[in-house]
Chains A and B, each alone.
Chain A
Amino acid sequence: MGDAELTGVHCRLDELLAERGMTLTRLSEEVGVSLVNLSVLKNDRAKAIRFSTLVAICEALDCGIGELLVRVER
Chain B
Amino acid sequence: MSDTSTFERRTERGVLYVVGGGALLVGAAAVLFGGTQLIIDAAGGAVPLHLEVDHALPDGIGGGTATLTEGAYDSAAVTANGLSGGVVTLLTVARGFGLLTTAAVAWSVAWLAWKLLRGQPFTASVGNALAMAGGSLLIGGLLSQGLGGFGTWLAIEELLGDVTAAADPFFPLVMGFDPAPLGYGLAMMLIALAFERGRRLQQDTDGLV
Listed in ascending order, the chain A residues whose CB lies under 8 Å from chain B are 33, 37-38, 40-41, 45-50, 53
Across the interface, B207 reaches (CB within 8 A) one of A33, A38, A46, namely: A46
Min CB–CB distance B204 → chain A (angstroms): 8
Bound form: Cα–Cα A53–B208 in Å: 10
Chain B hits for A41, CB < 8 A: 209
Chain A hits for B207, CB < 8 A: 40, 45-48
A-B contact pairs, 19 of them (CB 8 A): A33-B209, A37-B209, A40-B207, A40-B209, A41-B209, A45-B207, A46-B207, A46-B208, A46-B209, A47-B206, A47-B207, A47-B208, A48-B207, A48-B208, A49-B208, A49-B209, A50-B208, A50-B209, A53-B209
Bound form: Cα–Cα A33–B208 in Å: 12
CB-nearest residue of chain B relative to A40? Answer: B209
CB-nearest residue of chain B relative to A41? Answer: B209
Other A-B pairs beyond A38-B209, A49-B209, A50-B208, 19, CB < 8 Å: A33-B209, A37-B209, A40-B207, A40-B209, A41-B209, A45-B207, A46-B207, A46-B208, A46-B209, A47-B206, A47-B207, A47-B208, A48-B205, A48-B207, A48-B208, A48-B209, A49-B208, A50-B209, A53-B209
CB-nearest residue of chain A relative to B209? Answer: A37
- For window 168-209 of B, CB contacts with A under 8 Å fall at 205-209
CB-nearest residue of chain B relative to A39? Answer: B209
CB-nearest residue of chain A relative to B206? Answer: A47
Bound form: Cα–Cα A71–B130 in Å: 42
Bound form: Cα–Cα A49–B209 in Å: 5
Bound form: Cα–Cα A37–B206 in Å: 12
CB-nearest residue of chain A relative to B208? Answer: A48
Chain A hits for B209, CB < 8 A: 33, 37-38, 40-41, 46, 48-50, 53
CB-nearest residue of chain B relative to A49? Answer: B209
Bound form: Cα–Cα A33–B205 in Å: 16
Bound form: Cα–Cα A47–B208 in Å: 6
